[in-house]
Chain A
Amino acid sequence: MSTAKRRFTLAAVAAAFAHLALAAGSQAVMAQPRTDLVVGMALEPPHLDPTAGAAGAIKEVTYANLFEPLLRVDADGALIPGLAERWSVSEDGLTYRFSLRPNAKFHDGSAADSAAVKFTLDRARAADSVNAQKSYFAPIAQVDTPDPHTAVVTLSRPDGLFLIHMASGDAAIVGPGSAATNKRTPVGTGPFRFDRWVAGDRVVLVRNPDYDGVKPKLDRVTFRFISDPAAQVAALKAGDIDAFTLFSTYEALPEFRNDPRFTVMVGSTEGETILSTNNARKPFDDVRVRRAMAHAIDRKTLIEGVLYGNGVAIGSHFPPHREGYVDLTGMYPYDPAKAKALLAEAGYPNGFDTTLRLPPPPYARRGGELVAAMLAEVGIRARIEPVEWAAWLDKTFKGKDYDLTLIAHTEPLDIDIYARPDYYFNYRSERFNALNEELNRTQDAAKRNALYGEEQRVLAEDAVNGFLFMLPSVTVQKAGLAGMWVNRPIQANDVTAVSWK
């Protein structure tokens, strides 16, 4: 028995070495620029239908590459044509007219026309819809298709964010014939089409030869999923992957920066990292307590400790790279004495005990330890409670049963969550709600930005949450790779413009 096994082992090892020799041989022959790309990601998408799940990884694989919404977001966050070449908005902000690319086709050959647009939007807003961002489609009153290349969307109420929402992955245009099977075999209109999925390991996309727009330079893109930080570093160093996006093992960055084989890019995301505070629970219902906490947190030290310096501080729920941003980081300078005074004024001269619940991402666990230490300096004794993601969602987010927690909110322009009456912050402000309603009625960009500024001020004054820092978008890639996004204005790994030098 053992001899047979031994023979098998030897054969396996021999086969492995033979393959090795072949690989080494073929490498020496290669000279032209490569046309394939291997992108590393931390999480694997559960499925590949962007219109049926919130997991960021779904959009990171499919957005712009496989599926196209009517409009797209580019690397700078600007709206550019997607499946629609042009669009216009009526004076009253209620009617949107989209002109589609005349020759657009789904990967299965069916026409990507206005009927598909109508089907997509009606499906997303239907009663039994499981679109993770169903509220994006709520203002839609009806969708008309005057001709195959024109879709007219009428809203029941003005929505200043409508175009931005229509550029999200959740609004990707899907075909009536393929919508039901997109989870496993996605069929979109993008420049790449689905090739294969080795479950648990990789998704492979290949160039769509029939694409009617600008053709991509790459003919094959492999997304590989590596969750373990040590394995991520190893895969990069071993040369197994070409670029790792949203790389969060920040302590390894100096090593990659010093290695000429790699380039490190640090950009911004839409991830406001906040010390979420239960505004309905004592003692956090007292604005003085919340302001005391704001003074007790040293953001500079926090950013050093959590992100190794690769991030920027925020003073409200808005990213600094967006128009309409107001710098409010100076409103509550780090001042433990002031914090103690405010606590005493609120009736807690000896501080109080509380809990700080931490979900699994490293920024939350590491940031939570530091925040707890900072709060302890002023007498707020926060007991740390690490939980896993499913439990966090259940108890904290859905159940609203918590004191403090630390989390990044990654949806773009999501400041409107503060106007939701049942959101887990338990924050209620007539002033903020009025501003938000006005924002929804406003189309003019300058006026919108002014309103965003006002909203940020209200949130900062009320110190609703502890506003900490923006999550950075770190990409570690091989030198010679061009066109990967530096910033992350939307959850996407848009590789349509990536090439090797």
Chain B
Amino acid sequence: MLAFLLRRLVGLIVTVWLASLVVFTVLQLVPGDPALLMLGVNAQPDTLAALRGQMGLDQPILTRYLRWAGALLRGDLGVSLTYARPVAELVAERLAVTLPLALLSLALSTALALPLGLLAAARRGRGGDWAVLGFAQLGVSMPSFWIAILLILVFSLTLHWFPAGGFPGWSGGVGPALHALVLPALALALPEAAILTRVTRTAVLDTLGEDHVRTARAKGVGRAAVLLRHALPNALIPVATVLGLQISFLVAGAVVVENVFTLPGLGRLLYQAIGQRDLIVVQGVVVLLALFVVLVNALVDIACALVDPRPSAATKGASP
């Protein structure tokens, strides 16, 4: 177990370092001078030079990388070129939107998927199963941005129950803030729930065919008890793996949904920073996201290894 953890840790560090290198290099190749972007089409050459000096853009590339990477090791993400604020501060501010959004949609999708998947497995081949599979098929085929637009159309424009977008900030109170997050969370959750429903159904059906479940049945354990006590816990391993993968997708999906609902989340910060050539912000956010994804995957693997410590499962979890 210790060797396994160590291996994961080394992999984690290498991945994040590679991500930082790739992102830094790519940003040097992409055209777009942040100073020029700030000064616009009436920029005078000497003003441009002065601003580039202030931004540190006149330094050689290697110096800039070493300086940035060095600060990164000390946990300092640098200062944004456009916003003139520490990147860590910007990220923290945006996480206060993205994190609750992701958690809310994760909770929503799990709350929808587990019962539906169980139901479908219990009613395999019958009407309930078909209904759930139909819902899942629909959910998988509808992209979240489209669901987002539908939700806005129904709940904001027609019923006026929820705002069509925007975020008042937590300083404006928890109620209004949650109010603004409900529709985006739903838009993110539905496609995820659809996938998760299918995974749950398949996983439960698989475990239902296993020996210990058959033994339990033979002993006369009731249907519901077999499902909940014997089939479900074992089915949770593949479900958790998919859930872990989905967290990465949630972050990507959040970029799209944050843009539809104009939520000031991390995804939108990244999107805008790319447009503004705010290299420091882009670098910082990408490295953080890489760290996050790698960390989540590692945690899922460790969780699986803990639930099912058989060595075969551990190696399966460790391979990428």
- Residues of A whose CB lies within 8 Å of any CB of B are 2, 5-6, 8-9, 12-13, 15-16, 18-20, 22, 44, 46-47, 53-55, 127-135, 183-184, 196, 198-202, 224-228, 230-231, 234-235, 237-240, 388-391, 393-395, 397-398, 409, 411, 414, 417
B247 in the interface (beta carbon within 8 A): no
Looking at the assembled complex, report how far the CB atom of A383 sits from the nearest CB atom of chain B, in whole angstroms. 19
Q: From the candidates B83, B104, B114, B169, name the one contacting A198 in the complex (CB within 8 A).
A: B169
- Residues of B whose CB lies within 8 Å of any CB of A are 30-34, 36-44, 46-47, 50-51, 53-54, 82-85, 90, 93-94, 97, 104, 106-108, 110-111, 114, 149, 152, 156-157, 160-169, 171, 174-176, 178-179, 181-182, 259-265, 268-269, 272, 275-277
| A390–B40 touching, CB < 8 Å | no
| B84–A183 touching, CB < 8 Å | yes
Q: From the candidates B107, B156, B268, name the one contacting A8 in the complex (CB within 8 A).
A: B107
Known: A12-B181, A184-B85. 11 other contacts (CB 8 A): A5-B107, A6-B110, A15-B175, A20-B162, A54-B38, A129-B47, A134-B46, A199-B264, A224-B166, A390-B31, A390-B33
Enumerate 7 A-B pairs (CB-CB under 8 Å) in ascending A order: A12-B178, A54-B38, A133-B42, A134-B44, A134-B47, A235-B166, A240-B163
In the bound assembly, the distance between CA atoms of A250 and B162 in angstroms comes to 26
Q: From the candidates B37, B107, B149, name the one contacting A389 in the complex (CB within 8 A).
A: B37
Top 7 nearest A-B pairs by Cβ distance? A200-B264, A390-B32, A54-B40, A19-B175, A234-B164, A198-B169, A238-B164
| A225–B110 touching, CB < 8 Å | no
Name the residue among A2, A47, A130, A132 with the largest chain B CB count within 10 angstroms.
A130
A184 CB contacts on chain B under 8 angstroms: 84-85
| A22–B38 touching, CB < 8 Å | no
B50 CB contacts on chain A under 8 angstroms: 127-130
| B110–A2 touching, CB < 8 Å | yes
Name the residue among B42, B54, B277 with the largest chain A CB count within 10 angstroms.
B42
| A238–B182 touching, CB < 8 Å | no
B32 CB contacts on chain A under 8 angstroms: 388, 390-391, 393-394
Given that A8-B107, A391-B32 are known contacts, is A130 also in contact with B47, CB under 8 Å in the complex?
yes
| B165–A235 touching, CB < 8 Å | yes
Chain B contact surface mostly: helix
A225 CB contacts on chain B under 8 angstroms: 262
| B82–A394 touching, CB < 8 Å | no
| B111–A9 touching, CB < 8 Å | yes
A22 CB contacts on chain B under 8 angstroms: 175
| B104–A12 touching, CB < 8 Å | yes
Q: From the candidates B47, B169, B181, B262, name the one contacting A132 in the complex (CB within 8 A).
A: B47
B53 CB contacts on chain A under 8 angstroms: 128
Question: In chain A, what residue has the closest Cβ to B175?
Answer: A19
Looking at the assembled complex, report how far the CB atom of A396 sits from the nearest CB atom of chain B, in whole angstroms. 10
B171 CB contacts on chain A under 8 angstroms: 196, 198
Looking at the assembled complex, report how far the CB atom of A409 sits from the nearest CB atom of chain B, in whole angstroms. 7
Q: From the candidates B30, B38, B106, name the one contacting A53 in the complex (CB within 8 A).
A: B38
Looking at the assembled complex, report how far the CB atom of A233 sits from the nearest CB atom of chain B, in whole angstroms. 9
In the bound assembly, the distance between CA atoms of A18 and B182 in angstroms comes to 13
A234 CB contacts on chain B under 8 angstroms: 152, 156-157, 164-165
Given that A19-B176, A46-B82, A234-B165 are known contacts, is A132 also in contact with B157, CB under 8 Å in the complex?
no
In the bound assembly, the distance between CA atoms of A234 and B164 in angstroms comes to 6
B277 CB contacts on chain A under 8 angstroms: 390
| A398–B33 touching, CB < 8 Å | yes
In the bound assembly, the distance between CA atoms of A390 and B107 in angstroms comes to 39
Given that A238-B164, A395-B31 are known contacts, is A199 also in contact with B51, CB under 8 Å in the complex?
no
